Structure formats: structure tokens, C-alpha cells
Structure 1
């Protein structure tokens, strides 16, 4: 569906995004995560044809956005993090307006709008957009991004600032779009949501991709091995990081070597190991580890100095 190769964006010598490459197929979801200033929004705007890359290539459904911009825009839906709406318009009038911009007739647009309102559990009821809550306005913006039935959806922080219930509704809706074979790229700070719904994840830092792949691939590369060892003992075990629950002792072991050593100590002390549970690193744990461990490229250091002087 989308193929990106060597994407780069510079602003007066400052490299905002460098050497970004990835591919995504029909019906796949890619989550882009990183700290503020990592290049996430710049990346999304380049893919959405809102800003032109300094170098590199983007192909969307076999189309080149540089040469076939209008056709590409017909195939994408974009949701910025901050999405101002026409607050004096009613919800339906607003959505009909955008539907007509895409060439839909009013009758066709109304059918599509009613379908999307129902899917997102949003009741319009003649309400003006300015009278809606933040969560409801966000849903209107999402419907606007879908009014042209795009193949590729590009969402920048779709659940930012929303209450947990609305946020959950939007995440469930994104999963529903996947079932409809829509390809979705979105940025997010909520790593739990990313871990739950994404087929692939890209972690960015200082304009570069520092880790990417499926959750399993990233976990294999960056995850930290760990275990919870459960045991019984009549003695007070000579172990740190120990707690007792439901009559059993439990201790966390970081890695197989520590697991073996703790097991040996328990048995020598007359204890009995009853269960060993492997621990899986969360995406949040991995993200923090990547941020801490990945070295800053010399070019990026120069960029930071440039930014600090301007």
C-alpha cells in the first residue's frame, strides 16, 4: 500500500527527519512513537503530501505524490493533532461540505455520514460543532478524514487529550478500519494503545528511526529477559526483592543466570520451587530503554547545536 525510501526533511540546515524507510501493506497499522521533537509529525505531513521532502521517495498505492498529488490525496485521509473545525456549522452541514469537495452528491454524502456517525456512536441532532465536547469534535474530525473512503489513513495523536472512554472508542474504531482493509499510520504517546493494535511500530529519536518492526521483533531486540519465581519454604529465604502472596514466596529474577542462581539458593535452603513465570517487556519499558541506550549521531548533535542558536 505504501513504500517509503530514504525520506529526509531539512529546514535551513536543520535535519528534522533523516533516512526514513518502511513499507506497509493493505490493512496494516503502523504506530510511530517518540519524544516531542522526534520527527513524527513531520513524517506524517510528508506522507500526507502537506510538506515536500528534501530527499527520498514515497509511493502510495503505486502512485508518486510528487507527480500525482491530486490522485494521492483522493486516496488518503489525514487527521492532524490539532484540527480546527468550523464551529458555527452543524455537524451534518460541515461533513456535507467536505463530502462535496470530494465530488460526492448530497444524497450519497448523507448516507455515508449517517453510517460513520453510527459507527462512532456520535449523535448529531442538529448540533453546532462549537457546542460539542472535545471528544465529540475529535470524532467529527475523524469522520471528515473518512468521508472520501480513503485507502490510507494518517492520524497524528488521534486520542490526545481525550477521556479514557472516548479514547477507547476511537481505538476500537481504528481496529474496525483495519478489518475493512484500511491501512493506518498514526503517532501516539499512549504506548499501551500502540502495543495493543499495531502490526508494526517505529520508534523515532532526533529525526531518525532507532527501532522498528513488529512488537515481537522489537521485543526480541530490546526486551529485557525476566522471570517471577514462586516457591515454598519453611525458612526465611536469604533473598532480596522478595514478597509473599497466598502462602507462596515470589521473587523477580532478571535473566536466566540470576534465575539459575536463585533456584539453587532456594533448593539448598530446603525450599521447593513451584512455578516459574516468564516476564514480557512492555512497549513502554522498551521505549524508555531505547531512549536511554541509543547513541546520538554526530549529525544530530550538530542539529541540536544549530537549533539552540536559532
Structure 2
């Protein structure tokens, strides 16, 4: 198998006696969106900071484009963009001045930097009208932080909760923008608590718990491995005293059976027909990534 643009092997981070990330290994192919999810304290942010060379691993290796981050961090930073969850900005500066300042840190020629800034402001619908960053809304500030992460036109992006705490419209905009970055050829690793967003956006998903890998794969692969498909059968019948096939509930004037066993569905439909009843609805309930995630985290789910 061809190695990924990012290769992580046996990654571990200790803070004293506390192990934040424990023997984590994964690969990310060029042009993929790779999601890392887990509850608070699972090790997501620590992992992203190690990938961004902000935190040194206790052990293990990280390679990007074949370069070892422990030896080649400066070269890697030239094609890497990082967006932390909390991203302080220089609030007394104007947006363009702020982005120009960061372009100078990357030694981008001034004319090229001006062109890049115009492109980013247009792509992000970021019209600051000469305002200082401190006068912008939270959503606009997040767009400025995203523009900053893209100023050097990096091939690899590492985003920690890019849409965290934003209103639904801005969150949707940023989600769509991240998708467009993939279409332009960029490779993206990001963490998020919004599992619907992760499921709709990511090519592959890594689930962490207590610093350890729980599972890794596409949403469909994870659903196939851990998801329990349920069947819900709603029907009308005059008398259910003789019904002994499965647990039955009353919903309004109807009866409902929910089961993981398709044989129970078949037996129940035959029984209803034999009693002169009617099938009101029969549907398959496919678990969402969020439901699978909660079950993997040990949270009990209740299904009506």
C-alpha cells in the first residue's frame, strides 16, 4: 500500500503519570478529510498539537510528505496550516494588516501576499470594511483565523473544532468551506464534537477514548462494525392478548414492535394478517454515527 501524505506510528504523550495519547497509529491519504472525534479529555487536541509540532511526543513518529517532524519541523511548517480551537487574534489590527503580518513571517513577497489576501477575503466572504479585528463578530473572527491558516497556501491543514461555538449559518458556511478546500487538493485533519458534521464531511474517522484508538474507518465501515440496525413495525389489530412474539408497546391507538431481528418482523406481520389487522408502517432504523459514538463511549441509549 502506498504510504499516506501523513503517517503516524505509535504516538504517545505523557504528562507526568498521566497518559494523554497512548500508542496511536494512523495514515492519511493525500486529499482526504480525516476526522478525529472523542469526548472531552480523549486526547484530540493533544494529538493535533503534536501533528502541528507545538507539542513534542513522548514517543512515536510523525511523518508528513516523508519528512520526520522531529527533525524537519521547520520545513514541514512551510506546507502546514494550523487552526487551534481557541485562536487569539491581534484585535487592535485591521484584517488585511494582520494577514500581511503573517505573510511576512512566511517570507511571502508583498505583491503575492496582497493577491493571496484578496483571494482569501473573497473566498471566505470576509468583508471587514476597514474594521479592527476586535470589532468583528465571533464568526468573522473565526474566518480571519482560517484565512491566517491559509496564508501560505499549505498542502496540509490541521483544524481543531473549526466551527466551535458559532451560529448555525456560520457553522454551515465553514463546513462547506472546509469541503471546498478538499476539492482544491488540500489534505485536512480536524476534530469536532458535531458528529453529523463529521459524518457528512470526513472520508475517514478516528474515534478516541482516554487517549486510545477505539475504531478507525469510513462512517459506513464503522456503522457496519458497530451499528445495530433496528426494525420498527407499527400495526392495528383488535386484540393483542395472544401476541407472544416480542415486546409490544402502545402508541396512540396502534401497537409498535421494535426489534433487531428481521424474523420477528416477518412473524409479526403474519400474525397481524391472521388476526385481520393492518400494517400501518414498517421502517428500518439505521444508527447515526452519533448514536454509535455514544454507545462506544458507554452511554445508554433509549429507543421508542
Q: Distance in 2 between matches of 1:25 and 1:242?
A: 50
2:88 aligned partner: 84
CA distance in structure 2 between the partners assigned to 1:258 and 1:289 by the alignment: 24
Q: Does 1:187 align with 2:195?
A: no
| Residue of structure 2 in register with 1:299 after alignment | none
Shift of 1:30: 1.1
RMSD of aligned alpha carbons: 2.0
Structure 1, residues 190-233: CA drift from partner, whole Å, max 9, x if none? 111111111111111111011211001110111111123355x4
Cα shift readout 1:53-93 (whole Å, capped 9, x = no counterpart):
11111111111111111110111100011000000000000
Counterpart for residue 259 of structure 1: 265
8 Å contact kept, 1:244–1:250: no
How far apart, in 1, do the equivalents of 2:272 and 2:116 lie? 65
The answer to whether the 8 A contact 2:237-2:278 is kept is no
**Residues 233-285 of structure 1: per-residue CA shift (max 9 Å, x gap):** 4636667345479xx97654333243234324323322344764322110110
Question: SS at the partner of 2:111?
Answer: helix
Secondary structure of residue in 1 paired with 2:57: coil
Deviates more, 1:91-100 or 1:22-31: 22-31
CA distance in 2, matches of 1:241, 1:132: 53
Q: What's the counterpart of residue 302 of structure 2?
A: none
Measure, in 2, the Cα distance between the counterparts of 1:10 and 1:46. Answer: 12
Q: Which runs of 5+ in 2 are unaligned?
A: 300-304
- Contact kept, 8 Å, 1:242 with 1:252, in 2: the verdict is no
**Equivalences, count:** 290
| Superposition TM-score, scaled by structure 1 size | 0.88
Q: Secondary structure at the match of 1:292?
A: coil
How far did residue 32 of structure 1 move?
A: 1.0
* 1:288 pairs with one of 264, 289, 294: 294
Pair 1:32–1:241, CA change in 2 (3 A): farther
CA contact (8 A) 1:9 1:53 kept: yes
Distance 2:196 2:249 in 1: 26
Q: Please identify, of 20-29 and 272-281, the stretch whose mean Cα deviation from structure 2 is larger.
A: 272-281
| Aligned residues of 2:231 and 2:260 also touching (Cα < 8 A) | yes
Superposition pairs for residues 117-266 of structure 1, below 5 Å?
117-229=121-233, 231=235, 233=236, 235=238, 240-243=248-251, 251-266=257-272
Runs of 5+ consecutive residues of structure 1 not aligned to the other structure? 294-310
- Match of 1:298? none
Q: Flag the structure with higher helix content.
A: 1
**Which residue of 26, 31, 37 maps to 1:27?**
31
Retained in 1: the 8 A contact 2:237–2:272?
no
Q: Distance in 2 between matches of 1:158 and 1:106?
A: 28
